[in-house]
Amino acid sequence: MGGGHGHGGAERHSLRGDHRSLRVVLGLLAAVLVATVLGVVLLWPDGSGRVASAGAVSQAGVATQRFPAEVQAVAEGPCSYSVTENPQNCRTVVVVPGAGPNAHSPVTLPEFNLEQTGYVPDPAPGDRIVVGYEPSTEFYFYADQDRRTTLWVLAGVFAVFVLILGRFRGLRALVSMAITGIVLVAFVAPAILDGHEPLLVAVVAASVIAFAGFYLTHGFTPTTTIALTGTLASLALTLGISAVFFRAARFTGLATEEGTILSFVSEGIDLSSLLLAGAMIGALGALDDVTVTQAATVAELRRSNPAMRVPQLVAAGIRVGRAHIASTINTLLLAYVGASMPLLLLFAVSDQSWGMVANSELIAVEIARTLCGSMGLVAAVPLTTALAAALGAGSGARAAREGEAPESTGGGESSASPDRDRPPSWDDFAPREDFDF
C-alpha cells in the first residue's frame, strides 16, 4: 500500500497474519468461544423452572396481577368506618382498568386513610396508574404509578443522544446493550430458575456478553481482541478473589426481602452462589471501560513511536491507567452506595457502631462486591497494558528496522499527519473507526 496509509496498513496486516503472539491469543479466545457456545447449549433453559416458580408464587400469594388503569374520580371525606368519637378522613379513588376482568368498567379502590403516617397516594383524574388484582377475592388495590410512557420517552432520548454523538459506533453500542438485556432476561434468569448453578450460568452469560459487546461495538480489530482478552483474564481473577472472600464471609443471600421470597418459591437455587454471580456480572461492565482504554492507549503510543519497546510501552500505559483506575474505583463505590441510600440513612440513625453496621449482610455484600470488583479493575490495567505492549511493540520495532518512516517525530513535521494544520471539525471528536494497531 502506498501513500500515507502504508505504514498503518502494513502493521495491521502483520499483526493479523504474521504476529505469532496474536495468533496464540486468538487461539485461546477461540477455545473460550467454543466453551461458551457449548455452555449456552447445555444450560439453555426449557422453561420448566420458571413455570414451577410462577405456580409457587401464585400459591403463596406473593405476586398479584397488575393492570394499567386511568383515574376517573377522586373524592375526600369521612371514612366508611369513621365514628364521632374518632373521626377519620379518607380519600376514595375510582379507576377504569385497561385490562383484566373489569376492563373499561369503573372500579372503586379501597379508601386511603389521610390520618395515617407515611405515603398516601394522591392521584388526580386522568392520571395513569397501575392497580393490583387478587383473583381469589376479586380485590383491586392501588399498586404504583404508570411510568411506562416516561421510560419509553427517556429511552428514546437516550438513543438519539447516543446516535448523535456516537454515530454508527453509537448504533452498534445500542445493539450491544440490547443483546446484553436479552441474554440476562432470556438466558440467565430462566436457566437459574431451571436449577442450573447460578455462578456457572453467570460465567457463560458474561462470556457471551463480552464477545458480542466488544466485537459488535469496537469491531474485529487487534485492539478489540486485546481488550477482550484482558477483560476475560481480569474477570477470572475477580471471580477467584470474590469466591474466596464471599465463602469466608458466609453470605446467605437471605438478607433481602427478594432473597427470602426466592428461597420459598424456588428452593433449588443456591442464594450464596447467586450473590457471587451478580457480583461477576456487575464487574464486567466496569472492566470493559478499563481494558478498551488501556489497549487504545498503548496502540496510540506505539503509533506515535513505532520503535518503543515493551518495557517503555508498559510503563507509559500504566501511568495513564493509574489515573483512570482511581476514578473508576470511586465510580464503582458511588454506584453501589447510591443504590442503597435509604438503607444507609436507616443504619446512620441506628444505635450501632459502624463496625456492626458493616457486619450486616446487606452492607457487607456491597462492601465485598466493591472491593473484589475493584481489585479486578486494578489488575486489568497491567494485564491489558502488558498484553497490548507485547503484541504492539514487536511489529513497531520490526517496522522501524525495515526502514519505514515513523508516524511522528520529536518536534518536526510528520508525513503521517498531513492535516495537522487543518482547522478542527466535528469529525475530530467522533469515534475513530480506524483506531487500530
- Kindly report, residue by residue over 58-96, the tens digit of the pLDDT: 665 556 789 999 999 999 999 988 888 888 899 999 999
Domain-embedded: residue 397: yes
What confidence tier does 346 reach under pLDDT thresholds 50, 70, 90? confident
Alpha-carbon radius of gyration of the chain: 28
Residue 403 — very low, low, confident or very high, per pLDDT cuts 50/70/90? very low
Average pLDDT over residues 189-206: 90
What Å distances lie between residue 146 and 93, 152, 209, 393, CA to CA?
A: 15, 12, 31, 56
Mark whether 133 and 155 lie in a shared domain: no
Most confident of the ranges 109-113, 293-297, 410-414:
109-113
d(Cα 128, Cα 279) in Å, to the nearest integer?
A: 36
**Number of domains into which the chain is organized:** 2
The pLDDT of residue 55 is above 70: no
Instruction: Report the pLDDT value the prediction gives residue 327, as an integer from 0 to 100.
Output: 72
Tell me: do 99 and 234 sit in the same domain. Answer: no
Do 163 and 291 fall into the same domain?
yes
Q: What is the pLDDT of residue 354?
A: 75
Residue 342, Cβ density class (10 Å: 0-12 exposed, 13-18 middle, ≥19 buried): exposed
Q: In this structure, are residues 110 and 131 in contact, taking their beta carbons and an 8 Å threshold?
A: no
Asked whether the predicted pLDDT for residue 159 surpasses 60, the reply is: yes
Could you tell me the CA-to-CA distances from 5 to 217, 305, 308 in Å, in that order? Answer: 24, 16, 20
The last residue of one of the domains, among 118, 146, 174, is 146
Q: Is residue 433 part of a domain?
A: no
**Residue 124 and residue 85 share a domain:** yes
What type of residue sits at position 11?
A: E
Does the pLDDT at position 348 exceed 80? Answer: no
Range of the domain at 70: 65-146
- Give domain status of residue 420, yes or no: no
**Is there a single domain that holds both residue 301 and residue 225?**
yes
Q: Give residue-wise pLDDT tens across range 250-284.
A: 888 877 777 777 777 777 788 888 888 888 888 88
Q: Give the predicted TM-score (pTM) of the model.
A: 0.74
Q: How confident is the model at residue 41 (pLDDT cuts 50, 70, 90)?
A: very high
Res. 406: pLDDT tops 50 = no
pLDDT for position 98: 92
| Angle between the N-to-C axes of helices 361-401 and 6-13, in degrees from 0 to 180, rounded to the nearest 10 | 110
Kindly state whether residues 140 and 171 are assigned to the same domain: no
Highest mean pLDDT among 237-251, 321-335, 385-399: 237-251
Check pLDDT > 60 for residue 428.
no
Asked if the model's pLDDT at residue 310 lies above 50, the reply is yes
